[in-house]
């Protein structure tokens, strides 16, 4: 059995969200294509698979805006596994016809999966034996810290026809215990259904995780700093957020203007009352980190800057420009986490307005930070910390992230801007730095991050394939059209695995003994 690497070893990996996997259904899922992708990684000498948050998306289909920061996304469940277990028939699991193979159809996925998962639960209730019922009960007990509130929240969303919890009746909105007790009894069946769905997700994800471990591939995933307002997490933990008496946020989270947006990013999430969080032993955070560690080998702390200082904006604001910085929990929070859960495998997403205090905290905690080559190549002076000759060893480096243009899309914009505006030849500077004469720019960028001294080099799947901005995953500050990109069937083929393996081995990032499948 191969060994999953640590962040202190020289290794490489690919960034690809599960929804972007190919397949016959409306979105990627935890079926055969997920296992085939692990095989591709192993054949290519890759030791990390990085995914975006695995939570059930709420508004806008963003994995960063979820019904729960603990739960798994039901849309990722592979229905063929439910056929094997006897909860669905083959005819029931047959996916609808796809409109496009290169894009996720989230509305179709919700309609299709919701109906099938409801049917699977009905069959479970009527046909499950003692063993299966005990297994579900054990799962519910093991995850009681969050699962009960989540399942009740989802059942109540159905009861109140999708209204946000801030518009529920006062006794439900404020969680009056006698009212909740009555509702748990009345809604027992839908509550169990949502627990059943989470059980299925858990079983499938854990099976995939074990398979990746056998192939020597570790899983990296995001831990978003804030939950969504209309989530089980905020409804169940109102005292630790800045909310008014009706549960509406007084202030919301975002970031000031930066390289991504001239008006900043107005996320709209409620911000924490860190004093109240501290008095409760950071219980909500401990629960979510435990849940994340069950799924992943390494946790990428989204918006690490916010733990030092965070941007707070009036809930009435139209954009993020009029906000102000407030002090975050700092080192005390991480020492509390360490005292409760031990030393955790974190990556600090320290992109944006990084201050000396942010860098000092990350270094005291011995966390690797992030570097993005696109940012460095956009600087013509050569002194950017995002250029390979300035990468520290203890870092995780990327050609680009899910928020960036693709490498080819960025390159086309750089060269197009030069021609249109008569600016200095930035393209020539980039080519000189990368030594990219005659080589596609995306491979030159991949080679640059692989050759760097950074311990971990990560590449989005779009950059492996040299795709343009039509394959971009997210455009920060743009509300629609994100998260939909999907791999074409067969795109990650044997020839690409061989090319990537040669580069990975030549730069000292391949495992010493790689489990390479002949049919990869």
For residue range 190-228, what is the model confidence (pLDDT) as tens digits? Answer: 999 999 999 999 999 999 999 999 999 999 999 999 999
Q: Give the burial string for 373-407 (b: 16+ CB within 10 Å, else e).
A: bbbbbeeeeeebebbbeebeebbbbbbbbbbbbbb
Which residues are catalytically annotated?
302, 349, 403
In a domain, 268, yes or no: yes
51 with 181: CB under 8 angstroms? no
Q: Give the burial string for 186-211 (b: 16+ CB within 10 Å, else e).
A: ebeebbbbbbbbbbbbbbbbeebbee
Cα–Cα distance for residue pair 247/173, rounded to 1 Å: 8
In a domain, 420, yes or no: no
Find the domain containing 439 and state its range: 11-75+216-403+428-506
Cα–Cα distance for residue pair 95/111, rounded to 1 Å: 11
Residue showing tokens 């680009």 = 400
Q: What is the pLDDT of residue 419?
A: 52
| CATH number assigned to the domain comprising residue 231 | 3.20.20.80
In a domain, 379, yes or no: yes
379 with 353: CB under 8 angstroms? no
Percent of the chain with pLDDT over 90: 85
| Secondary structure class of 349 (helix, strand, coil) | coil
Give me the residues of the chain with pLDDT under 70, please. Answer: 1, 259-260, 380-381, 417-424, 513-520
Q: Which two tokens stand for residue 483?
A: 């998260």
Q: What is the pLDDT of residue 516?
A: 46
| Secondary structure class of 491 (helix, strand, coil) | coil
In a domain, 183, yes or no: no
With a CB cutoff of 8 Å and minimum separation 6, the contacts of 401 are: 15, 351, 370, 372, 460
Q: What is the pLDDT of residue 313?
A: 96
Alpha-helical (H) ranges within 4-61 are 32-43
DSSP letters, 238-273, are GGGB-B-TTS-BSEEEEE-S-SS-TT-EEEEEEPB-
Q: What is the pLDDT of residue 418?
A: 52
Q: What is the pLDDT of residue 98?
A: 80
Cα–Cα distance for residue pair 282/7, rounded to 1 Å: 26
Beta bridge partner(s), residue 6: none
Please tell me the total count of domains within the chain.
1
With a CB cutoff of 8 Å and minimum separation 6, the contacts of 111 are: none
Angle at 218 (CA atoms; ends 214, 219), nearest 5 degrees: 125
Label residue 379 left, alpha or beta by phi (over 0 means left) and psi (-120 to 50 means alpha): beta
**Which residue spans within 25-128 are E strands per DSSP?**
48-51
Q: What is the pLDDT of residue 518?
A: 40
With a CB cutoff of 8 Å and minimum separation 6, the contacts of 69 are: 53, 55, 224, 227, 231, 233, 288, 291
277 with 285: CB under 8 angstroms? yes
In a domain, 147, yes or no: no
Q: What is the pLDDT of residue 160?
A: 97
In a domain, 394, yes or no: yes
In a domain, 80, yes or no: no
With a CB cutoff of 8 Å and minimum separation 6, the contacts of 141 are: none
Q: What is the pLDDT of residue 87?
A: 98
In a domain, 454, yes or no: yes
Q: How far is CA 161 from CA 74, 154, 156, 168, 331, in A?
A: 19, 11, 8, 10, 42
Q: Which two tokens stand for residue 239?
A: 């005292």
Beta bridge partner(s), residue 396: 370, 456
Beta bridge partner(s), residue 301: 223, 348
Angle at 412 (CA atoms; ends 408, 417), nearest 5 degrees: 150
């Amino acid at each position: 059995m191969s060994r999953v690497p640590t962040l202190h070893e020289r290794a490489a990996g690919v960034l690809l969200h599960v929804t972007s996997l190919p397949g016959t259904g409306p979105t990627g899922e935890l079926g055969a294509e997920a296992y085939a992708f692990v095989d591709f990684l192993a054949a290519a000498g890759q030791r990390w698979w990085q995914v975006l948050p695995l939570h059930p998306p709420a508004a806008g289909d963003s994995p960063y805006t979820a019904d729960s920061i603990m739960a798994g996304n039901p849309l990722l469940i592979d229905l063929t596994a439910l056929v094997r277990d006897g909860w669905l028939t083959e005819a029931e699991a047959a996916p609808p016809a796809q409109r496009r193979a290169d894009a996720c159809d989230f509305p179709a996925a919700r309609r299709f999966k919701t109906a099938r998962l409801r049917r699977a639960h009905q069959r479970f209730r009527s046909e499950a034996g003692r063993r299966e019922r005990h297994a579900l009960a054990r799962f519910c007990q093991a995850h009681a810290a969050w699962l009960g509130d989540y399942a009740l929240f989802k059942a109540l969303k159905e009861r109140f026809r999708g209204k946000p919890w801030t518009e529920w009746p006062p006794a439900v909105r404020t969680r009056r215990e006698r009212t909740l007790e009555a509702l748990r009894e009345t809604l027992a069946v839908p509550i169990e259904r949502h627990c059943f769905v989470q059980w299925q997700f858990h079983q499938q994800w854990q099976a995939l995780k074990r398979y990746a471990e056998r192939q020597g591939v570790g899983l990296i995933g995001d831990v978003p700093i804030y939950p969504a307002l209309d989530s089980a997490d905020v409804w169940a933990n109102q005292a630790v957020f800045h909310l008014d008496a009706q549960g509406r946020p007084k202030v919301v989270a975002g970031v000031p203007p930066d390289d991504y947006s001239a008006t900043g990013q107005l996320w709209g999430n409620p911000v924490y009352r860190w004093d109240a969080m501290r008095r409760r032993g950071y219980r909500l955070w401990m629960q979510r980190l435990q849940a994340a560690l069950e799924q992943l080998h390494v946790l990428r702390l989204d918006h690490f800057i916010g733990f030092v200082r965070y941007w707070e904006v009036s809930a009435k604001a139209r954009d993020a420009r009029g906000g102000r910085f407030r002090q975050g929990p700092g080192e005390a929070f991480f020492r509390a986490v360490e005292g409760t859960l031990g030393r955790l495998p974190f990556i600090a997403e320290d992109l944006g307005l990084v201050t000396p205090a942010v860098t000092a905290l990350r270094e005291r905690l011995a966390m690797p930070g992030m570097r993005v080559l696109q940012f460095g190549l956009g600087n013509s002076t050569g002194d950017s910390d995002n250029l390979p000759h300035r990468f520290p060893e203890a870092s995780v480096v990327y050609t680009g992230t899910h928020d960036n243009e693709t490498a080819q899309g960025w390159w086309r914009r750089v060269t197009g801007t030069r021609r249109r505006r008569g600016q200095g030849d930035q393209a020539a500077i980039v080519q000189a730095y990368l030594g990219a004469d005659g080589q596609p720019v995306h491979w030159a960028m991949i080679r640059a991050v692989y050759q760097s001294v950074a311990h971990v080099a990560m590449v989005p799947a779009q950059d492996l394939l040299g795709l343009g901005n039509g394959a971009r995953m997210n455009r920060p500050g743009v509300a629609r059209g994100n998260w939909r990109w999907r791999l074409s069937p067969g795109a990650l083929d044997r020839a690409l695995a061989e090319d990537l393996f040669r580069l990975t081995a030549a730069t000292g990032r391949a495992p010493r003994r790689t489990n390479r499948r002949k049919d990869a």
